[in-house]
């Protein structure tokens, strides 16, 4: 399917968090070289990797912003350091991206196009597949049930053409691959640092939905813009 993306000069910052996973992070950064003509700033936050890999990244990826913590401060704090840097340096959009992912060539364009043409979309994402089996879904969309406190990834373990589960309207997307409008983050705040890992992405999406009145483009992007995807390494 051909995706027509309107050119944009909007600055998009992509935040990656690394902690003793240099091989995965380097592979992810290599795949990000496909981004092409978009105005993208990549911010790598290192959460206390030992030994300090700063010189490796500065040598191999001189255009990547490298920020470092002396120890592992957890996922929300680490990501927030990158997110705040992005907001302070004029980004219109901020993407959280797991460092154990490999992106497709057009993983960003359809998301950005959807948000540029519809101001009511505050958060967007495509599908995530298993890297070892590129037709097997890891994440398509997510639903948090307030009554049961259950969090569910819809589509996980299913092959794309066979995905037949009833899928309710999503109210969160995984922080593995999530594009946020900067104005939403400025309104609702960044990740809640009371979490150390997990659920901080759900919390942020719920706040974006309730306090900023922003909708999600996960359905449109996941179903109709099929080349907006990436794979996650197991």
Q: For residue 227, count CB atoms less than 10 angstroms from its CB and return exposed for 0-12, middle for 13-18, buried for 19 or more.
A: middle
d(CA 76, CA 199): 10
What pLDDT score does 134 carry?
83
d(CA 18, CA 78): 9
Domains and CATH numbers, the chain: 12-232 (3.90.550.60)
What pLDDT score does 162 carry?
58
Q: pLDDT tens across 25-42, in order?
A: 999 999 999 887 789 999
Which has the closest alpha carbon to 32: 41, 21, 23, 22? Answer: 41
Q: pLDDT tens across 194-226, in order?
A: 988 878 888 898 888 876 555 554 433 333 334
Q: pLDDT tens across 106-115, in order?
A: 889 888 888 8
């Amino acid at each position: 399917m051909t995706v027509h993306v309107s050119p944009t000069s909007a600055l998009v910052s992509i935040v990656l968090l690394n902690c003793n996973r240099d091989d995965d992070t380097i592979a992810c950064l290599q795949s990000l070289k496909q981004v092409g003509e978009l105005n993208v700033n990549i911010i790598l936050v290192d959460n206390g990797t030992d030994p300090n890999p700063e010189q490796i990244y500065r040598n191999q990826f001189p255009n990547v912003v490298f920020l470092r913590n002396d120890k592992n401060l957890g996922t929300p704090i680490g990501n927030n350091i990158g997110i705040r840097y992005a907001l302070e340096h004029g980004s219109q959009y901020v993407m959280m991206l797991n460092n154990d992912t490999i992106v497709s060539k057009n993983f960003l364009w359809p998301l950005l196009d959807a948000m540029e043409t519809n101001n009511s979309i505050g958060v967007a994402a495509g599908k995530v597949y298993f890297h070892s089996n590129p037709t097997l879904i890891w994440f398509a969309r997510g639903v948090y049930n307030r009554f049961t406190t259950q969090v569910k990834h819809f589509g996980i373990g299913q092959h794309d053409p066979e995905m037949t589960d009833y899928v309710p309207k999503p109210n969160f997307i995984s922080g593995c691959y999530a594009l946020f409008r900067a104005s939403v983050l400025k309104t609702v705040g960044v990740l809640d640092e009371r979490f150390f890992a997990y659920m901080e992405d759900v919390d942020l999406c719920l706040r974006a939905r309730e306090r900023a009145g922003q909708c999600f483009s996960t359905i449109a992007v996941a179903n109709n813009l099929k080349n907006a995807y990436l794979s996650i390494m197991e």
